[in-house]
Structure 1
Amino acid sequence: MPSLSPSRRQFLSSTSMLLLIASAPGARAAEHSGSLPWKPFAALPPATLPGGRWYVFTPEEARTVEAIVDRLIPADELSIGGREAGCAGFIDRQLAGSYGSSERLYTQGPFAAGLPTQGYQGSAAPTRRYREGLDALNKHTRANFGGKAFFDLGAAEQDQVLKDFETGKVDYKPAAGFFNLVLQNTMEGFFADPIYGGNKDMAGWKFIGFPGARYDYRDYITAHNQPFPLPPLSIAGRPEWKTGDK
């Protein structure tokens, strides 16, 4: 049998030593101590902002966004509307973070006209797009509805303005892109985890029957075509639970 090379001999010797250490009583005691070697969210904790204030929107911008989200998701007998669900607050908090400044995205040129399925292709960050879009929206309504801001219009008038923005029938070139941006963010706010400011009382999840951030579904995965019997659960727990940021 040929002799082992020094490097291979050293490798096998070190591996044997590791196995002996792992089998020692002290090592097994640490392995089965009952405590986890990590803490939840220790690596990347959810960054949350306290409610009760606006972080990015001016008062007029906030009123405008609240009016928009309430027309995109109007209240009815099935669910609360976008305003009550906190969609405007969700958008404001998102804009206050890395999303609003596009700091995690490549936004340098060259720029080309992309397909509608490719999303926004410009350099402006979402915060700037909101500022310019909301300003254009209120300028449009004041010019065409007797000096009224968007949030002062009736529901039917607001719907017509939003349709005109969606189809680009206004004197603002990025109108359709701005409408799609607000629509996307509104849907996110209605269905995201409540820890981020929207989906008040998990209304969006209750509406579609989503069970939320539960740890284990093994008892229910075979219950096909049956409603989930438990209420939805947020990352932060149930609303009646006390958490550290309350």
Structure 2
Amino acid sequence: MANDKPNQPQDESRRRFLKYSGTALGGVVLGGVIGGLVGANVKQTDKDETAEPGKSGTAAENKDYNQALMFFSQDQFTTAEAAAERIFPADDSGPGAKELGVAFFMDHQMVSQYGYNARDYMLPPYYKAEETQGYQLIFKRNELILLGLEAMNQYSNTKYQKPFAEIAPEEQDAVLTAFEKNETGIKDFPATNFFAMFLNLTMEGAYADPLYGGNRNMAGWKMRNFPGNQMSYTDYIEKEEFVKLEPLSLHDHLELG
């Protein structure tokens, strides 16, 4: 009969390899830096497992991962955020576009099917469109927004020697007004097209479900006493008095379910 004892060092070595390489994580061998981190943090992982019940034991729990850039560069985001704040500024009634995260909403829309005109027919031949036909430009929406943000900075640098985000609020208003009234140009399309789309995105970002990146903490809805995405109104529909409900996001239904 074969003796198992000579194999024990080899088995022990293999167990160590599995533990520190990360093979146990989904059956995938993790090499290089990731594999090293798995081994280096084994003791830390053991500590996390003893965290307070209901808590992960990590600082990441309080992070909002929906507030992350997917399309804009940092400069483009800063310009969009500053412009949106002038269109939807903070006042006594509540937060403005910046605090609501409207620029994050725009960023997420630009990388979506909406931003890429995925459901629009975009091939030639092209004909002059009527105003009632809606968006008819050959540019994708994300291209139009990027060209518009670049044009705003160029206009601001020419007139005020600073990019849009760094000029005074009244100067920012003047720049936006010039685009609204088509008093300046953008390459290959009217400035009013950009302003109209940017205005719509600002309002959508202030009042859309927070799941899409804006309306942070449902503050846009709270300013309007809008109940958000309630599952049912059967308990209130026959009440004569106004019923103020705490708003719910689509994400809340996942937790309630």
TM-score range, shorter chain: 0.7 to 0.9
Task: Name the SS for the 1:237 alignment partner.
Answer: helix
Counterpart Cα distance in 1 of 2:86 and 2:132: 24
Does residue 107 of structure 2 align to residue 92 of structure 1?
yes
**Conserved? CA contact 1:112–1:121, under 8 Å:** no
Question: 1:164 maps to which residue?
Answer: 178
What are the Cα deviations for residues 33-76 of structure 1, in whole angstroms up to 9, with x where unaligned? xxxxxxxxxxxxxxxx9334311111110100000110110000
Task: Name the SS for the 2:252 alignment partner.
Answer: coil
Question: 2:190 maps to which residue?
Answer: 174
**Conserved? CA contact 1:65–1:88, under 8 Å:** yes
TM-score (norm 2): 0.69
* Equivalent residue pairs, number: 191
**Conserved? CA contact 1:193–1:199, under 8 Å:** yes
Question: 2:163 maps to which residue?
Answer: 149
- Superposed, 1:1-246 pairs within 5 Å as 50-145=65-160, 147-172=161-186, 173-224=189-240, 226-237=241-252
Give the 3 Å change call, closer, same or farther, for CA 189–55 of structure 1 in structure 2.
Answer: same
The residue type equivalent to 2:157 in the other structure is: R
What are the Cα deviations for residues 166-224 of structure 1, in whole angstroms up to 9, with x where unaligned? 11001334210000111111111111111111001111111111111111101211234
Give the 3 Å change call, closer, same or farther, for CA 167–116 of structure 1 in structure 2.
Answer: farther
The residue type equivalent to 2:93 in the other structure is: L
Q: Percent identity?
A: 37
**Structure ranking higher in helix proportion:** 2
The residue type equivalent to 2:168 in the other structure is: G
**Conserved? CA contact 1:102–1:126, under 8 Å:** yes
Counterpart Cα distance in 2 of 1:126 and 1:194: 22
TM-score (norm 1): 0.72
Task: Name the SS for the 2:99 alignment partner.
Answer: coil
List runs of 5+ in structure 1 lacking aligned partners.
Answer: 1-48
**Conserved? CA contact 1:211–1:228, under 8 Å:** no
**Conserved? CA contact 2:67–2:213, under 8 Å:** no
**Conserved? CA contact 1:111–1:121, under 8 Å:** no
CA RMSD of aligned residues (A): 2.0
Counterpart Cα distance in 2 of 1:235 and 1:139: 40
**Conserved? CA contact 2:225–2:244, under 8 Å:** no
How far off its partner does 1:242 sit? 6.5
**Conserved? CA contact 1:102–1:125, under 8 Å:** yes
Counterpart Cα distance in 1 of 2:197 and 2:183: 17
